[in-house]
Structure 1
Amino acid sequence: MTSNETFPDDLLQLQERLHRAHAEHRAYLADLPWSVEPMKGWKRGERFSHRGDVPDSPGWTDEQKDTVERMRAELRELSTAVVNHPHWATVPRETLVKARMQLKQQARPAEAGDTAEAA
């Protein structure tokens, strides 16, 4: 493998979709209550907390739980498709990890600010 591996378009698209799905999943989780089930919060001195006071958590709604499960299923499906892509059978075993890391970098979506400048 050279330092500039050429990847099939469908593999690049799968990896980009995987990057985007991870970002959407992280963003969605960040907006959810801190506990899946309703749980009482605590003051900083009551328990260890690097965040200070922790408010009560109302838990997640059934719709939020379903959305998270759907997102996780999509992540599993995309991850499996990337890992099992036929291209990897053509890459020498000793350079496989390097090639996979290159794919991740090459297929990373542009940041929001980058796309605005390109338009």
Structure 2
Amino acid sequence: MTESTALPEFDPLCPSSAMPIQIGGKWTGMVVRCLQGGPRRFTELKEPLRGVTPKVLTETLRAMERDGLVRRTVHDENPPRVEYTLTPLGRSLVPLIDAARAWSEEHLPTLLHARETYEP
């Protein structure tokens, strides 16, 4: 894979489930980032998303396809080759994900501390 098509690296310690800003399910934003550079096969998505199970990745991709964020293309080959691509609607999420990521880098430690010390 060339540098221009390299997939993003995700910090395995990133508490994405702690994020107050989520787009779709837990993995949706990361799938958008992986598809940002162009079409990818399922196995190419699994590698950078090490914490996701194949079942959950399949469910995420199906939900994203249902919502019009991803297009699934089956190529008539033997064996069949399936690729996932962002639609224009899916691509429109990129600036929102970038903004949420920037906010998180600045504020996530404070948010997590508040959660740890919260007493109802």
TM-score, normalisation: structure 2: 0.32
TM-score, normalisation: structure 1: 0.32
Greater radius of gyration (CA): 1
More strand by share: 2
Q: Which has the higher contact order (CA 8 A, sep 6+)?
A: 1
More helix by share: 1
